Amino acid sequence: DFQYGQRELDTIEVFLTKSARGNRISCMYVRCVPGARYTVLFSHGNAVDLGQMSSFYIGLGTRLSCNIFSYDYSGYGVSSGRPSEKNLYADIDAAWQALRTSIEKVSKITSPVLIIHGTEDEVIDFSHGLALYERCPKAVEPLWVEGAGHNDIELYSQYLERLRRFISQELPSQRA
């Protein structure tokens, strides 16, 4: 259930973009904090869509003092197409391009990357998180959440603590 009022609804922009594979991708930009310095590009889990995540995004962005940009994968929510690995890559590329064109300064910034993964993820094996970390040149210290699965990682206290540290300490140090 959506637990916010009209004021919060007014901070949410929903629009469609198109992926390189021709699918319509639903995007949601949540302006949680006026004048926020950062926007998190959030790839949600596979058991939800943007509508189900909107309350979570408002709460997360407010606690972290940043904006949240997210998207639905092909075949999720109102996004067209069907879920596949190739579509997933095209979907996040389309979301990234949509984000870059809606926040003027973002296209000029090379940002660090924080990877968070549960060690007991039953859907996306933990080895994928490790591989991303090892291959990403801008990766900061990752968070491996011991015991966290695919759909409960945000319930662990270190999840929010690590995001806060990333946004309050690591991102500002990259700007200097």
Fill in the DSSP letter of residue 147. Answer: T
Residues paired with 14 in a beta bridge: 28
For the ranges 22-31, 74-83, 92-101, 107-116, the lowest mean pLDDT is seen at: 107-116
CA 67 – CA 173 distance, rounded (Å): 19
DSSP three-state, residue 84: coil
Question: Other C-beta atoms within 10 Å of 104: how many?
Answer: 8
pTM of the model: 0.67
pLDDT tens per residue, range 112-171: 888 899 999 887 778 778 877 776 777 889 999 999 998 899 999 999 999 999 999 988
As a residue count, the chain comes to 176
pLDDT tens per residue, range 38-88: 999 999 988 889 988 998 999 999 999 999 999 999 999 999 999 999 999
Asked whether the beta carbons of 36 and 67 are under 8 A apart, the reply is: yes
DSSP output for 16-69: EEE-TTS-EEEEEEE--STT-S-EEEE---TT--HHHHHHHHHHHHHHHTSEEE
For the ranges 85-94, 98-107, 135-144, the lowest mean pLDDT is seen at: 98-107
pLDDT of amino acid 175: 60
Question: Kind and range of the H or E element at 6?
Answer: helix 6-9
End-to-end CA distance of the chain: 41
CA 40 – CA 68 distance, rounded (Å): 5
Q: Which residue in 22, 26, 87, 90 sits closest to 52, CA to CA?
A: 26
Residues paired with 13 in a beta bridge: 29
CA 64 – CA 73 distance, rounded (Å): 24
